[in-house]
């Protein structure tokens, strides 16, 4: 695990001219790809604010694609990310867009996976390589990738959150933070659990077996 105090003083180890536009952008792409949870075949990437205005000069386009390909900020291949993506058959388009009241360094990913599963992710690069995800599949969220992150989508019903957290606690996992977002009572809901420990595949499978679970995504710890 990285020493966060050293990180705060020195910044991220990275390739590129800007921690916000390069290191942060790589992490946003990496997290978006983890949320889709499969290889991406089509990516529509909407750039907001500073990302739209100066991103190309700072390598933001390359960094976002590099993250989607699974690279980290110190990967020497970032400069070749567009060509590598084309070689993998990944269809990418960039557009400038107004995403509303969000951080100036923000992006929206509209992703389609190899089995045609779709995911939309909105995130921001906050500086120093730090990022936050603020929307997943139209659910409002807030997580940073600094913890081991689990995302569960399900049909809301009484006791559902207790069932999920009981499984987590029984596995000896300490929950650092948790956020719940839902479409309405009895409708689709999403819970983000940020944990201090690695979440095992066994625990993920146990949560998937709970009633009315739609999907379970695990991002691990990305920062």
Instruction: Report how far residue 54's alpha carbon sits from residue 169's, in angstroms, rounded to the nearest whole number.
Output: 45
Q: Which two tokens stand for residue 153?
A: 């989508």
Distance CA 164, CA 131 (A): 26
pLDDT digits (tens, 9 = 90+) for 118-144: 999 999 999 888 999 999 999 999 999
Q: Per the structure block, which two tokens stand in for 164? A: 């999920």
Residue carrying the six token digits 């390598």 = 59
Give CA–CA dist 148/198, Å, rounded.
6
Single pTM value for the model: 0.87
Q: For the purposes of burial, counting CB atoms within 10 Å of the CB of 92, is it exposed (0-12), middle (13-18) or buried (19 or more)?
A: middle
pLDDT in tens, 162-182: 999 999 999 999 999 999 999
CATH superfamily of domain region 148-220: ACT domain (3.30.70.260)
Instruction: Return the CATH fold of 4-137.
Output: 60s Ribosomal Protein L30; Chain: A; (3.30.1330)
Domain ranges across the chain: 4-137, 148-220
Q: In this structure, what are the phi and psi dihedrals at residue 69, rounded to the nearest 5 degrees?
A: -85, 0
């Amino acid at each position: 695990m990285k020493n966060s105090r050293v990180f705060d003083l020195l910044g991220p180890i990275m390739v590129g001219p800007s921690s916000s536009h390069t290191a942060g952008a790589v992490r946003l792409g990496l997290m978006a790809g983890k949320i889709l949870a499969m290889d991406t075949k089509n990516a529509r990437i909407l750039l907001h604010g500073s990302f739209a205005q100066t991103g190309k000069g700072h390598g933001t386009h390359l960094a976002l694609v590099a993250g989607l390909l699974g690279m980290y900020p110190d990967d020497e291949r970032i400069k070749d990310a567009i060509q590598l993506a084309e070689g993998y058959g990944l269809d990418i388009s960039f557009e400038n867009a107004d995403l509303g009241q969000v951080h100036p360094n923000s992006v929206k990913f509209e992703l389609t996976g190899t089995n045609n599963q779709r995911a939309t992710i909105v995130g921001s690069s906050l500086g120093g390589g730090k990022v936050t995800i603020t929307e997943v599949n139209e659910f409002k969220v807030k997580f940073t990738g600094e913890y081991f992150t689990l995302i569960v989508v399900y049909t809301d019903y009484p006791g559902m959150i207790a069932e999920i957290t009981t499984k987590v606690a029984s596995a000896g996992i300490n929950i650092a933070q948790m956020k719940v977002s839902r479409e309405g009572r009895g409708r689709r809901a999403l819970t983000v659990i940020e944990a201090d420990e690695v979440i095992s595949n066994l625990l993920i499978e146990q949560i998937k077996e709970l009633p009315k679970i739609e999907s379970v995504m695990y991002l691990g710890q990305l920062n």
